[in-house]
Structure 1
Amino acid sequence: MTDRWGVTVPLDGLALAEQRSLIERLPDLGYTDVWSAEANGADAFTPLALASAWAPRLRLGTAIVPAYTRGPATLAMSAASMATAAPGRFALGIGTSSDVVVQRWNGIPFDRPYQRVRDVVRFLRAALEGQKVTESYETFEVAGFTPGVVPDQPPPVLVAALRPGMLRLAGREGDGAVINWLSAEDVRTVVPHVHAGGANKEIVARIFVIPDVDAETARGIARRAIAAYLNVPVYRAFHEWLGRAERLAPMWRAWREGDRKGALAAIPDSVVDELVVHGPAEYCREQVRRYVAAGVTTPVLAPMGGGDPERVLRAMAPAG
């Protein structure tokens, strides 16, 4: 079991500058962690830098920073800065992100994702320990980078992982894995691959939650998110591996044909209910604990659907 209980920042529904009072109260509500995400909203580091000052008891983490969209040295500098601003309270989660974010939005070729993440992890290990790095990695070269900021305690480096190869990399060369878009039962499928690299590896799971909303409304919100993510090739392959190919095939077919409305309608309720936790808050908290029982060490709630963020935070606080 775990005593950790995290939430994704920044919180939806409030401008970043308006979130201070809620972030300050998170520890008193029972939250231990805040983890950022990075796609097309806030960057991964700014919300954590604010949270480090607003609520010094919170642990901070990125879930995740893409391994492509910052140069290796820039990524190391950002991580070292956060680690020195919040000594012993920061964890760096990196991952491939997706071809949509990397290639379509940032104009960077989405080549050899496994090798890129592996190389970035190896570089970060050296740089965050203060080593001068001159190295030809398979996917990039670094010539004479000397870190100017070296944290007394290098942060753990976690790898966002979906399928076996990256999961094993997370356990072998990282300090653990960041997982998302999976059910509590799916956790039992992925965790052994991480633990092949060590039994004490951290497993951070972003868990999508919609508390205290009726089932029809919640499923409508969840379907839109599922369609947006699970039609991205890396997530489609993930769910094929998890065994959902037959149930998701009609959605994939409609999406490919340009029928967005039909794609949403084709997502079965059973898939929605497996991937997004919804219902009364007490039930939602019980479902989050199922993830923990299956092997998650750090559950990180990711509220969906907007609404009053304070209401959601109170509803999903570990003690209710």
Structure 2
Amino acid sequence: MTDFSILAPLVPFRTEQLLPYAAMVQWSNAHRLWQGQAMVTDPHQMFTAAAGSGFGVPVGTGVTLMPLRHPFEAALHARTMAVTTGHPVIAGFGPGGAAFQKSVLGSAYASPLTATREYVTIVKGLVDGDVVHHEGEYFFCENGLPPVPGPPVQVGIGVLRPGMARLAGEIADVAITWLTPASYLRDTIVPAVREGAARAGRPMPRVVAMVPVALGAQDRDPLEIALMSNAGHIALPHYIDMLSRSGIHVDREDPLAGARALIKGRAFLYGTREEVAGELDAFREAGADEIVLNMGGVFQRYGTRTALTELESLLEVVAP
């Protein structure tokens, strides 16, 4: 069975901005509330603040960027969310783009795969209760977290291309995709995750697909909403490469054409709620265990009330 979750479609400046989305998870059949990496407020602290306001729900970070924190601190943050929310947590991580790595660390990871392998190995060991002994090329840890009763933490890796997907299959609990069309998930990501798991002799991790969506209306321009939702991503080299592999060709010099390509390639879903629900079925059939509804473009264009209304409407169909 595929779970349906929601992404908080904003970077909240204040806790109360996040609470309507946490409340939606409480009273609907939405499975989990997700936030991505933000540079204005930190998702770990926002989820903890929401729990302190009485809205403790299952949460996921998809994904936070490795250069911002040591894996010991990352594990501590993830476990803190589990303890304070009272619910299981998915802590997703990714190396980010080379330019971002250099801006924070002084130089990019020579091997993002190696850096991610080390980082996730340390975090997973710590949240699983182990004392970790790791001296790697990028990260060092000789420590453990004191045992604390609480819900489990699963560790995820953001995957766009086959190499990272195979790594997720080898070592992670969850493989997390963003902006990947269902066909690419089916033909490239899921087989690579399965291959990595088989190589390591372990069960295949869960696959989470973050999918940008919007419901159609006569007065709407789908290109505008698609661009608002994804302009930053389709300007990044690793997203451009992933989309190209999936048959969606975007040009950072022509964002509007990129938005059009996302819609045509079904990386961004737009239509009636029944049409969008039908398109989401393709992600389930492709192997997604959890589908996360991303109404970011709707929020940016029309605000919280409309984003919540459309999430509620779509959840009535996909998660009745």
Normalising to structure 2: TM-score of the pair?
Answer: 0.84
Q: 1:234 aligns with which of 230, 234, 238?
A: 238
Moved more, 225-234 or 109-118: 225-234
Are 1:174 and 2:172 counterparts?
Answer: yes
1:318 positional shift: 3.7
Q: In structure 2, what is the equivalent of residue 258 of structure 1?
A: none
CA contact (8 A) 1:281 1:315 kept: yes
Counterpart of 1:264 in structure 2: which amino acid? P
Q: Aligned to 2:224, what secondary structure does the other structure show? A: helix
**Residues 242 and 200 from structure 1, CA distance in 2 versus in 1: closer, same or farther, beyond 3 angstroms?**
same
Q: Distance in 2 between matches of 1:34 and 1:278?
A: 22
Q: Aligned to 1:121, what secondary structure does the other structure show? A: helix
Q: In structure 2, what is the equivalent of residue 281 of structure 1?
A: 273
Q: 2:298 aligns with which of 277, 290, 305?
A: 305
Q: 1:315 aligns with which of 305, 313, 316?
A: 313
**Residues 149 and 17 from structure 1, CA distance in 2 versus in 1: closer, same or farther, beyond 3 angstroms?**
farther
Q: Deviations over 1:207-263 (max 9, x none)?
A: 10112344861212213554431231111221232233xx43xx24xx2xxxxxxx1
**Residues 136 and 232 from structure 1, CA distance in 2 versus in 1: closer, same or farther, beyond 3 angstroms?**
same
Are 1:217 and 2:224 counterparts?
Answer: no
Moved more, 11-20 or 265-274: 11-20
1:158 positional shift: 1.1
Q: Distance in 2 between matches of 1:238 and 1:67?
A: 20
**For residues 73-84 of structure 1, what are the structure 2 equivalents within 5 Å?**
73-84=72-83
CA contact (8 A) 1:102 1:110 kept: yes
Are 1:243 and 2:247 counterparts?
Answer: yes
CA contact (8 A) 2:71 2:120 kept: no
Indicate the RMSD between aligned Cα atoms, in angstroms.
Answer: 2.6
Counterpart of 2:244 in structure 1: which amino acid? E
Q: In structure 1, what is the equivalent of residue 38 of structure 2?
A: 39
Q: Aligned to 1:42, what secondary structure does the other structure show? A: coil
**For residues 53-92 of structure 1, what are the structure 2 equivalents within 5 Å?**
54-56=54-56, 58-87=57-86, 89-92=88-91
CA contact (8 A) 1:213 1:278 kept: no
Segments of 5+ residues of structure 1 without an aligned counterpart are 256-262
Normalising to structure 1: TM-score of the pair?
Answer: 0.84
Q: Aligned to 1:30, what secondary structure does the other structure show? A: coil
1:21 positional shift: 4.5
CA contact (8 A) 1:210 1:277 kept: yes
**Residues 233 and 130 from structure 1, CA distance in 2 versus in 1: closer, same or farther, beyond 3 angstroms?**
same
Q: Aligned to 1:317, what secondary structure does the other structure show? A: helix
Identity %: 20
Q: In structure 2, what is the equivalent of residue 202 of structure 1?
A: 206
CA contact (8 A) 1:187 1:294 kept: yes
Counterpart of 2:260 in structure 1: which amino acid? D
Q: Distance in 1 between matches of 2:212 and 2:125?
A: 34
Q: Distance in 1 between matches of 2:11 and 2:310?
A: 10
1:149 positional shift: 5.1
1:272 positional shift: 2.4
Q: Distance in 1 between matches of 2:47 and 2:241?
A: 31
Moved more, 197-206 or 180-189: 197-206
Q: In structure 2, what is the equivalent of residue 158 of structure 1?
A: 156
Q: Distance in 2 between matches of 1:151 and 1:98?
A: 36
Q: Distance in 1 between matches of 2:310 and 2:41?
A: 20
**Residues 42 and 289 from structure 1, CA distance in 2 versus in 1: closer, same or farther, beyond 3 angstroms?**
farther
Q: Aligned to 2:153, what secondary structure does the other structure show? A: coil
Q: Distance in 2 between matches of 1:153 and 1:26?
A: 18
**Residues 77 and 225 from structure 1, CA distance in 2 versus in 1: closer, same or farther, beyond 3 angstroms?**
same
1:108 positional shift: 4.7
Q: 2:283 aligns with which of 283, 291, 297?
A: 291
**Residues 74 and 268 from structure 1, CA distance in 2 versus in 1: closer, same or farther, beyond 3 angstroms?**
closer
Runs of 4+ in structure 1 deviating by more than 6 angstroms, as ranges, are none
In the alignment of these two chains, the number of paired residues is 303
Are 1:271 and 2:270 counterparts?
Answer: no
Are 1:9 and 2:8 counterparts?
Answer: yes
Q: Distance in 2 between matches of 1:287 and 1:215?
A: 22
Counterpart of 1:266 in structure 2: which amino acid? A
Segments of 5+ residues of structure 2 without an aligned counterpart are none
Q: Distance in 1 between matches of 2:38 and 2:60?
A: 15
Q: In structure 2, what is the equivalent of residue 259 of structure 1?
A: none
Moved more, 214-223 or 178-187: 214-223
1:154 positional shift: 4.2
